[in-house]
Amino acid sequence: MLPHEPNPVVVLSKVAKIAICGQAPGNKVNISGVPFTDPSGDRLRDWLGVDEAQFYDPVKFAIIPMGFCFPGYDKHGGDLPPRIECRERWHDRVFAAMPQIELKIVIGASAQKYHLGRSALQSVTETVRHWREIYEATQCMPMPHPSWRNTGWIKKNPWFEKDLLPVLRDLIQVKLKD
Per-residue pLDDT of the chain (178 residues; tens, 9 = 90+): 667 788 899 999 999 999 999 999 988 898 898 999 999 999 999 999 999 999 999 999 999 999 999 988 999 988 888 988 888 999 999 999 999 999 999 999 999 999 999 899 999 999 999 999 999 999 999 999 999 889 999 999 999 999 999 999 999 999 999 7
pTM to 2 decimals? 0.94
Q: Are 97 and 90 in contact (CB under 8 A)?
A: no
Domains and CATH numbers, the chain: 18-172 (3.40.470.10)
pLDDT the model gives residue 6:
84
